[in-house]
Amino acid sequence: MIKLENLTKVYNDKNVVDNLSLILQAGVITGFLGPNGAGKSTTMKMIISLVHPTNGQVSIDGQAYHTLEEPIKKVGTLIDPSALDKNLTAYQHLNIIATAAGIDESQIDKMLEKTGLNPVKDNKVKTFSLGMKQRLGVATALINNPEVVILDEPFNGLDVDGIRWLRTTFRQLADEGKAVIVSSHLMSEIQAIADRVVIIGQGKLLADMTIDEMNERSMSSYILVNSNNNKQLKVELEADNGQVQLNKDGLHVRNLASKEIGQIAFESKIILSTLSEVNPSLEDVFTEVTNGKVEFTSEGGIIDETID
Amino acid sequence: MRQLIKADFKKTMYIPSYRYILIATVILSLVFGAIFLLTVEVTEGLKLSSLSSMLVIDVSFLGMDVTAIMMIIFVSLFISKEISTGAIYTNLAITPNRLKFYISKLIFLLILSVLITILVVLGLFGFDSLVMSVKQMGNLEVFNQEVLLKIIGSFLMVIFYTMISAIGTFLIQSMAGGAVISLGLMFLPGLIRMFPEFVGNTILPILPESAINSFMDITKQSSNLFLALILLISWLVVVFIISYSRFRKTDY
């Protein structure tokens, strides 16, 4: 379990991470989302002691990362796939990591096989595409079979096959009881894999919830209702504390469950033709939650889907 | 720690540019040592065949300066590249204890500089023997106190500049920074000698060059080698403390 307590990082009088408190659980894939400069990468770097917190602390099973006996057995990380010596081959890179960490060399071949890099293991990293570097970065993160996996933008540059492979890998890792923390600008990917979503903006925690909770709580979530008398139904639902908007496609009802709406309609002798739950996309929720918390926006909206 | 040192040796062997620099270090040191010896008549006005065994070693060992300069380049490149490529993210993730990380780099570079120096010293002795044999100047006398001090001095010089270059690179976090600090220390005495004598007399004794010369310069060997050694260690310790305290706090 990773525990972030009042984590704060100040650079040049600016709070990049502001009093962030979180608990990242084992067996769960946590999607880490935030607009440009939200502090996602800085938070990840603080977890592995690459960046020193100005205030607050991070603990991994009760210990600071830099005090762990075998840190990469506990936490595997991918911060920047290009952050390695480009004159090494994939095999040499993993061999150096394995040697430094005292890992059995048989793990190198396993990782190369697992990440699909075996055919190019003797090619220099400088000849690799971004997707191949991502695979090598993932291999580096997983080489010591860590309990926690932290990956910053692992989907960048991956082809369809790579994305599918990564999704399956993350699910397997979570099923094995590992904590998987993934940041991505591809919100559809986070939606497809995450059990839980953490959204930060301007360094502050904006949301921390499961995908189900998100669907329930979000204003983007509503029940679409159509009937033979929408105006009358609106009055009846509002009388029962429902929040109702009359739109072109029908009534958007919040604060009431489908069952309750059906009951109210039945009692009011109104015939329903549509009664369906509309759940928001992660993008809707993200836009909703980060409203006003985005540092760099264009006139037409948030640049680059608001994410870094 | 042993694993980290082993990993650095592997990295040095894997990356061609590192291998080439180290090979060039040995070759250039020997070539320059040979040139200094074979041109002694032009540079010093001394006839080669009239030189004593000790002077032959003294002149050819000027090639050790090349070893020191090449090691400065290698070390500042080796450490700065780790920082500039971002490889330090992974390396610090493996070894988040920064003191352990830092010390392991210094030990690796210390071992490497000793190995390179051994190769160059053996090479120079071999060349000196060859020249003396060809010129029928007798046998090379290597087993006396003066030669031993010369060898110790050569090792100390290469090790000192290797260490100071590593510490400087960690301090400035760039290749240029590391090289400038160590080369600056190496060539500063030459600059200081351009000033009035009292300036030189005040500053030169506390610079590392004077301590290294206590061993290396057989014409005016200092009586207090222990103090010379303390001076070199003090330089390393002071710069290390400044450098490490910065490295410890640096965010990557």
User: Are A99 and B95 inside 8 Å of each other by CB?
Assistant: no
Taking the Cβ of residue B107 and every Cβ of chain A, the question of whether any pair is shorter than 8 Å is answered with no
Sorted by where each begins, the domain ranges of chain B are 2-249
Q: Convert the pLDDT of each residue in A52-67 to its tens digit.
A: 999 999 999 889 999 9
Chain B environment of A92 (Cβ under 8 Å): 10, 14
Chain B environment of A50 (Cβ under 8 Å): 89, 92-93, 251-252
pLDDT of residue A290: 65
Starting at the edge strand found earlier in the chain, the sheet holding A250-254 runs: A243-247, A250-254, A222-227, A272-278
What is the per-residue burial (b if ≥16 Cβ within 10 Å, else e) of B129-139? eebbeeeebee
Listed in sequence order, the residues at least 6 apart from B141 whose beta carbon sits closer than 8 Å to its beta carbon are B53, B54, B147
pLDDT of residue B219: 53
Taking the Cβ of residue B14 and every Cβ of chain A, the question of whether any pair is shorter than 8 Å is answered with yes
Q: How far, in Å, CA of A157 to CA of A208, rounded?
A: 27
Q: How confident is the model at residue A156 (pLDDT cuts 50, 70, 90)?
A: confident
Query: Which B-chain residues 67-106 have CB contacts (< 8 A) with chain A?
Result: 81-82, 85-98
pLDDT of residue B136: 81
pLDDT of residue A220: 64
pLDDT of residue B247: 94
Q: How confident is the model at residue A124 (pLDDT cuts 50, 70, 90)?
A: very high
Listed in sequence order, the residues at least 6 apart from B224 whose beta carbon sits closer than 8 Å to its beta carbon are B214
Between B23 and A290, whose confidence is greater? B23
Residue B61, token pair as written in the block: 């060992």
pLDDT of residue B228: 87
User: Are A99 and B6 inside 8 Å of each other by CB?
Assistant: yes
Chain B environment of A111 (Cβ under 8 Å): none
Q: Model pTM?
A: 0.81
Chain B environment of A52 (Cβ under 8 Å): 249, 251
| Contact (Cβ atoms closer than 8 angstroms) between residue B159 and residue B72 | no
Task: Give which of B8, B84, B90 to mutate to test A binding, by max A Cβ within 10 Å.
Answer: B90
pLDDT values of chain B reduced to their tens digit, one per residue, 252 residues: 899 999 999 999 999 999 999 999 999 999 999 999 999 888 888 888 888 888 899 899 999 999 999 999 999 999 999 999 888 998 999 999 999 999 999 999 999 999 999 999 999 999 999 998 888 887 777 788 888 888 888 999 999 999 999 999 999 999 988 899 999 999 998 888 888 888 888 888 889 988 888 877 655 555 688 888 999 999 999 999 999 999 999 998
Taking the Cβ of residue A192 and every Cβ of chain B, the question of whether any pair is shorter than 8 Å is answered with no
Q: Convert the pLDDT of each residue in A10-44 to its tens digit.
A: 998 888 999 999 998 888 999 988 877 788 889 99
Taking the Cβ of residue A12 and every Cβ of chain B, the question of whether any pair is shorter than 8 Å is answered with no
User: Are B90 and A140 inside 8 Å of each other by CB?
Assistant: yes
Chain B environment of A59 (Cβ under 8 Å): none
User: Are B93 and A68 inside 8 Å of each other by CB?
Assistant: no
Q: Which of A68, A83, A87 sits opposite B89 (nearest CB)?
A: A83
Between A204 and A108, whose confidence is greater? A108
pLDDT of residue A308: 37
Distance from CA of A153 to the nearest CA of B (A): 15
Task: Give which of B2, B89, B250 to mutate to test A binding, by max A Cβ within 10 Å.
Answer: B89
Q: Which of B15, B94, B252 sits opposite A97 (nearest CB)?
A: B94
Q: How many residues does chain A have?
A: 308
CATH class of A2-215: alpha beta
- Work out the mean pLDDT of chain A and round it to a whole number: 85
pLDDT of residue A80: 87
Q: Could you tell me how far CA B159 lies from the centroid of its own chain?
A: 5
Long-range pairs, A272-277, Cβ under 8 A, ≥24: A272/A225, A272/A226, A272/A227, A273/A226, A273/A227, A273/A228, A274/A224, A274/A225, A274/A226, A274/A227, A274/A250, A275/A223, A275/A224, A275/A225, A276/A223, A276/A224, A277/A221, A277/A222, A277/A223, A277/A224
pLDDT of residue B149: 85
Taking the Cβ of residue A45 and every Cβ of chain B, the question of whether any pair is shorter than 8 Å is answered with yes
- ipTM value for the complex: 0.84
Q: Which of B11, B98, B251 sits opposite A51 (nearest CB)?
A: B251
Q: How far, in Å, CA of B172 to CA of B247, rounded?
A: 9
pLDDT of residue A219: 62
User: Are A96 and B7 inside 8 Å of each other by CB?
Assistant: yes
pLDDT of residue A130: 87
| Chain A residue at shortest CA distance from B93 | A48
Residue A289, token pair as written in the block: 């939650």
pLDDT of residue A99: 95
Q: How far, in Å, CA of A77 to CA of B92, rounded?
A: 11
User: Are B11 and A87 inside 8 Å of each other by CB?
Assistant: no
pLDDT of residue A17: 92
